[in-house]
Amino acid sequence: MPFTDVADWMGHRSLDITFKICRHLMPDSIGRAARILNLDLAA
């Protein structure tokens, strides 16, 4: 689910607030993003 939707649903004024609160729910997101970027950079 996009963070923008979560932020709207939770009534946060900024995505930063949502990110700080919900970051622990996505522990592998940084590794996944790095793998995606590496694949795109290798192409």
Tell me if 32 sits within 8 A of 39, measured CB to CB.
Answer: no
The domain locations on the chain are: 3-42
Query: Which pLDDT value is given to residue 41?
Result: 62
- Backbone phi, psi, residue 16, to 5°: -60, -40
Query: Per-10-residue mean pLDDT for the chain, 43 residues long?
Result: 85 87 75 74 58
